[in-house]
Amino acid sequence: MVKTMGKYLLRIKYNGKNYKGWQIQPQVTESKTIQGVLEEKLSIILKEKAVLFVAGRTDAGVHANDQCAHFLTNREIVSYKFLYSLNSLLKTEEISVISVEKIEDENFHARFSCRQKTYKFQIFHSRIPDVFLRDFSWQVPLFDQIKAKKTAQFLLGNHDFSSFRDSHCQAKNPIRSIENFHFEQDGNLHKIYITARSFLHHQIRIMVGTIQQIIARNQPPETILEILEKKDRKIAGPTAPASGLFLEKIEY
């Protein structure tokens, strides 16, 4: 009788500063990736090759507070013991596993079952840099949160985001639907939460970079509508740095 493989979901946090993103890059063996580290540690514990299927790949330097990935195994797992063992192996890394959960739904997939994702982008507004936020924010001398909110409202809903995707984006369809923009402020630290089912490559960082450029140039918020309608990456703003971006929440 063939034993049925178990499916387990990991929820993961990481500081992406010293990693080349989530995805293993076989052509660059010296590159350290989140997936590569986790699969190596999982394989040690499971005593079999582990393969992770992720909710959303993050780029080099991007962080996560709630990344999700599942794997299949023939081994029986006791969640709390497994969690302790895995985090013990990760103690020299800037990665921690928050939880491990057995998934009974055979059709569940960490990526394709995802209903929506929320990313957070942090901007630190000051002419004096904050050394403790350097790796976790975009530090700019000027930011106007009221104007940023007005500008962001034009990006809500279903649009062709061709102006806001990287030239190497492989998505066949540039249409995406932004469900929510939410802004919070803690002193000089501004937090922008953006929710959608999926995003184009670098879409969030280009949207944030464009909003910041509109503020810096003292342009009206409606300027972003013109950029959206042109469907041309060249007229949008810069790609904001990866250091400010966090994968904040995955919802199933």
- Distance set, CA 135 to CA 13, 67, 124, 139, 243 (Å): 15, 19, 11, 10, 5
Measured between alpha carbons, how far is residue 155 from residues 10, 98, 169, 195, 205 in Å? 32, 33, 19, 12, 14
> pTM for this structure?
0.94
Looking at residue 1, what is its pLDDT? Answer: 43
Q: Is 66 a catalytic residue?
A: no
Q: Locate tokens 């509508």: which residue?
A: 225
Query: What's the pLDDT score for residue 227?
Result: 98
Q: How far apart are CA 1 and CA 65, in angstroms?
A: 41
Q: Which tokens hold the place of 109?
A: 């997939």
Residue tagged active-site, from 59, 105, 130, 160: 59
pLDDT for res 29: 62
How is domain 116-251 classified at the CATH fold level? Alpha-Beta Plaits (3.30.70)
Nearest-5° angle of CA 183, CA 188, CA 203? 45
Q: Which residues make up the CATH 3.30.70.660 domain(s) of the chain?
A: 116-251
pLDDT, one tens digit for every residue, the chain (252 residues)? 445 689 999 999 999 999 999 999 877 666 799 999 999 999 999 999 999 999 999 999 999 999 999 999 998 898 889 999 999 999 999 999 999 999 999 999 999 999 999 999 999 999 999 999 999 999 999 999 999 999 999 999 999 999 999 988 989 999 999 999 999 999 999 999 999 999 999 999 999 999 999 999 999 999 999 999 999 999 999 999 999 999 999 999
CATH class of 6-103: alpha beta
